[in-house]
Amino acid sequence: MSKVRVLVGTHKGAFILTSDGKRQQWDVQGPLFAGWELYHLKGSPADPDRLYASQTSGWFGQVIQRSDDGGKTWETPGGGLEKTPDGMPRGESNKFVYEGEVGTHQWYDGTQHPWEFKRVWYLEPSLTDPDIVYAGVEDAALFRSTDGGVTWQEFPSLRSAKGNLWQPGAGGMCLHTVLQDPDDSNRLFVAISAAGAFRTDDSGATWKPVNRGLKTEYELPDPNTEVGHCVHNIAMHPSRPDVLFMQKHWDVMRSDDAGESWHEISGDLPSDFGFPIAVHAHEPDTIYVVPIKSDSEHYPPDGKLRVYRSRTGGNEWQALTKGLPQKDCYVNVLRSAMAIDSLEPCGVYFGTTGGQVYASADSGDSWTPIVRDLPAVFSVEVQTIP
Amino acid sequence: MIRVVLPTPLRRLADVGREIEIQVEGQLTVSTVLDALEARYPMLRGTIRDHVTKQRRPFIRFFACGEDLSHDPPDTPLPDPVVRGAEPLLIVGAIAGG
């Protein structure tokens, strides 16, 4: 029987939640890396026992962790006493160094500010090779490891895509989303706050902004600018990689041409501000968002925690409330804190800043909390294991 | 042998106890002790000082013999009791937690 493994990153450690395919009874493992911020954990699609985790701290910086047994044991890749031929330690797993001229980006006040590495926000293991993994970092850049996280190399040309105009959002200037095109291994999409979405069609050698149709009124001098938009999250269905869905700072957007142009699909949502967006495992036009009241009031409208589902690819939305608190709820759901499993019917999971992780085993029709009292949840990923 | 005390999160990361002993070649300074520490425990690279610039991370301090060595040049010779192994070099996370 299939099982699911939910990987939860929190403000004070990581947790692994496992269940069989019914998704009713859960085993909770953790905290792992107790006391550290776990921005993201994700499993390799090519080897579900290979997991990567971003462990970070304001005191001690960035640590990359890797598991080869589904999270039972972890190591810092290259962190042992393995030596290079010249006798130096190999361990560079935590070393993220920008390539070439570091350059500057826009600061909050509009002045230029040098790029400074702070942490890894997002880890995206390759669809086909467990040793290849991408890392989206703050200050925004994309790195890749081809040796299981032992060493990391930047794609510097991404920062050439008008990087001097990028600026930090409230959470910092982070590259927080990486999408791989399953039909074209040369194509990647990334999203950056506050810069926008970018695409490469040549395995990262060159990048272009793909933000036409995004509009940011009041916060940017030119609301239709090519870069500078605060994109919170993007998602695709693997069967239709040219169709992208986006939760922007404000506005839910859709592209049908791999990001070349976007149009708004916020429709009848109670608020089009939010962070995560996700696509149903088996229905490419069914999407999920969690509306948040505003950019200053990071909680659900009216104190009601509601996931909204559209079965029409946007514009018409249905509130999913069964099992979710419908009064006095003032938590947030962060951009990487929603995930979908691939069982039938598909499961939907999300975590809150109040420490709850909710699961739906029926595509969102009803919800139950797996755990209620974790530290603030930063990220939720799920693996469906045969 | 030089005695070094790590902050708790780094002890867990390196899987060591409160105090460790490090063999250091040549002159004994904060810089050479960290070189030896990172060679013995590569997972600590980047957690105490920057990978490239070797600058101390802002929330890390170095204490020994009741003195704050954090702002001394990193190639300053360590106090004699540390060199003799009578006193440890303390690597400390700043009090900024609550």
Q: Which residue has the higher pLDDT, A174 or A88?
A: A174
pLDDT of residue A91: 58
The alpha carbon of residue B17 is apart from the nearest alpha carbon of chain A, in Å, by 16
pLDDT of residue A81: 56
The answer, yes or no, to whether residue A175 has pLDDT greater than 60, is yes
Q: Do A58 and B9 touch (CB under 8 A)?
A: no
pLDDT of residue A242: 98
Q: How far apart are CA A233 and CA A177, in angstroms?
A: 6
The answer, yes or no, to whether residue A82 has pLDDT greater than 90, is no
The answer, yes or no, to whether residue A85 has pLDDT greater than 60, is no
Q: Do A78 and B42 touch (CB under 8 A)?
A: yes
Least confident of A202-216, A249-263, B84-98: B84-98
The answer, yes or no, to whether residue A87 has pLDDT greater than 90, is no
**Are A179 and A235 spatial neighbours (Cβ–Cβ below 8 Å)?**
yes
Residue from B31, B36, B2, B35 nearest B19 by CA: B2
pLDDT band at A217 (very low <50, low <70, confident <90, very high): confident
The alpha carbon of residue B18 is apart from the nearest alpha carbon of chain A, in Å, by 17
Strand order in the sheet with B60-64: B19-22, B2-5, B89-93, B60-64, B67-68
Residue from A165, A185, A181 nearest A173 by CA: A165
| A57 shares contact with chain B (CB less than 8 Å) | yes
Read off the pLDDT of each residue in A69-97 and give the average, rounded to a whole number.
75
The answer, yes or no, to whether residue A197 has pLDDT greater than 60, is yes
Nearest by CB to residue B57, choosing from A61, A92, A97, is A61
The alpha carbon of residue A61 is apart from the nearest alpha carbon of chain B, in Å, by 5
Nearest by CB to residue A94, choosing from B46, B60, B94, is B46
Q: How far apart are CA A232 and CA A252, in angstroms?
A: 10
Q: In this predicted model, what pLDDT tens digit does every residue of B61-71 receive, in sequence order? A: 999 999 999 99
Q: How far apart are CA B64 and CA A181, in angstroms?
A: 54
- Mean residue pLDDT across chain A: 95
Q: What is the number of CB-based contacts under 8 A between chain A and chain B?
A: 65
Nearest by CB to residue A76, choosing from B40, B43, B96, is B43
Residue from A141, A336, A135 nearest A247 by CA: A336
Read off the pLDDT of each residue in A251-261 and give the average, rounded to a whole number.
98
pLDDT of residue A218: 79
The answer, yes or no, to whether residue A79 has pLDDT greater than 90, is no
Q: In this predicted model, what pLDDT tens digit does every residue of A314-362 receive, in sequence order? A: 999 999 999 999 999 999 999 999 999 999 999 999 999 999 999 999 9
Characterize the bridge pairing of strands A287-292 and A307-310: antiparallel
The alpha carbon of residue A86 is apart from the nearest alpha carbon of chain B, in Å, by 13
Q: Do A36 and B9 touch (CB under 8 A)?
A: yes
The answer, yes or no, to whether residue A86 has pLDDT greater than 80, is no
Q: In this predicted model, what pLDDT tens digit does every residue of A49-63 receive, in sequence order? A: 999 999 999 999 999
Read off the pLDDT of each residue in A126-151 and give the average, rounded to a whole number.
97
Read off the pLDDT of each residue in A36-53 and give the average, rounded to a whole number.
98
The answer, yes or no, to whether residue A214 has pLDDT greater than 90, is yes
Q: Which residue of B has its CA nearest to A34?
A: B9
| A35 shares contact with chain B (CB less than 8 Å) | yes
Q: Do B94 and A59 touch (CB under 8 A)?
A: yes
Structure tokens at A200: 């490469």
Alpha carbons within 13 angstroms on the beta-carbon side of residue A238 total: 9
pLDDT band at B97 (very low <50, low <70, confident <90, very high): low
pLDDT of residue A212: 97
Q: In this predicted model, what pLDDT tens digit does every residue of B15-64 receive, in sequence order? A: 999 999 999 989 999 999 999 999 889 899 999 999 989 999 999 999 99
The answer, yes or no, to whether residue A80 has pLDDT greater than 80, is no
Q: How far apart are CA A300 and CA A173, in angstroms?
A: 24
Residues in chain B closer than 8 A to A53 (CB atoms) = none
The answer, yes or no, to whether residue B75 has pLDDT greater than 90, is yes
pLDDT of residue A1: 73
